[in-house]
Amino acid sequence: MTGQKPTAMRHTPVLLTRTLDLLAPALERPDAVALDATLGMGGHSEAMLTRFPHLRLIGVDRDPQALALAGERLARFGDRVTLVKAVYDEVPDALAEAGVDHLDGALYDLGVSSLQLDETERGFAYAQDAPLDMRMDTTTGITARDLVNTADEADLVRIIRRFGEEKFAGRIARAIVAARADAELATTGQLVDVIRSAVPAAAARTGGHPAKRTFQALRIAVNEELDVLERAVPAALDALALHGRIVFLAYHSLEDAIVKKELAAASRSRAPKGFPVELPEHQPRFRLLTRGTETPTEQETASNPRAASARLRAAERIVDRPTARHTARTTDRGGA
């Protein structure tokens, strides 16, 4: 296993300063509660807890290894931190487990984590030979190996085309089916070789690593990432208190499209077209804090290449939740 370096040296949080600045008006409140819904190795969480000394933080991740590493990193913050093993669409359950009923701030740093990419045996990286796994939670669910060896050709085409936006999806799916007829595909290296054989040489020379989009597609399918995200965004918005703020970091167009759609719906009037007066129930519930997406600077990308594809969106709740309880602040400060 890789990872002899301290956790803080293995993970550079993306768009960290901008994320903290956007969340600051909400997290500077006394007794503020924040959610890091994609905890990873805890870099964003550590920065939030350091900058906002009265903050209580709920850290959520489906990856037991991430929870263990982040727990070590955040241990010095004591009972200001509660860690919960959950998928990020399970916000209501995670908050209930932590004993809170609202959020002042939330961060969703989407996609695969640095931990998962760096641990060779997890099978996320196409540049290293490893078992075909790709599960964010290695204790449950199907693996990428299961998927590539059992899905029929039509399903493989659909997955690779939809989740990888791969124009050679048909050729790659046919090559996978043909290769597995001879022997099961068990490693990332075997799969990369099959993909290379299917992608035209000219495209491979100009379009980046030929396996990049297929690996993304398989990872998304194995972890049901887009289905989870479609449930997660509304759940997160519903949990925010008045003037609570939320930041999303997306790393490909499919993630960003879901976030964009949900934030746009939450930030526009719901009054029927031609309605003469905007009633309170029709008013936008959120206001957007960014114009379109924000991206890392060239300097950040140079120092942290994994930040290159990041797209940031943020919003603030401007109409209170119908069931909000303004004075209900839990006294249960359960620790990590």
Q: Binding site: residue ranges? A: 42-44, 61, 88, 109, 116
Beta-sheet strand order (sheet of 103-109) = 81-85, 56-61, 33-36, 103-109, 240-250, 311-317, 286-288
Residue 209 neighbours by CB distance under 10 Å: 15
Question: Rounded to the nearest 10 degrees, what angle do helices 43-51 and 64-74 cross at?
Answer: 30
Tokens of 173: 């799916």
Q: Do residues 11 and 114 touch, judged by C-beta distance below 8 A?
A: yes
The full DSSP string for 193-224 is HHHHHHS-HHHHHHSS-TTHHHHHHHHHHHHT
Query: Residue 91 CA to chain centroid, in angstroms?
Result: 13
Question: 101-133: buried (b, 16+ CB within 10 Å) or exposed (e) per residue?
Answer: bbbbbbbbbbbbbbbbebbbebbbbbebebebb
Q: Which two tokens stand for residue 53?
A: 């000394």
How far is CA 80 from each of CA 32, 35, 164, 277, rounded to the nearest angstrom?
Answer: 11, 12, 39, 45
d(CA 251, CA 68): 25
Binding site for S-adenosyl-L-methionine, by residue number, is 42-44, 61, 88, 109, 116
Q: Cα separation of 168 and 161, whole Å? A: 8
Task: Of 199, 221, 220, give the one whose Cα is nearest residue 210.
Answer: 199
Is residue 65 within 8 A of residue 115, CB to CB? The reply is yes
Dist. CA 316–CA 293, nearest whole Å: 15
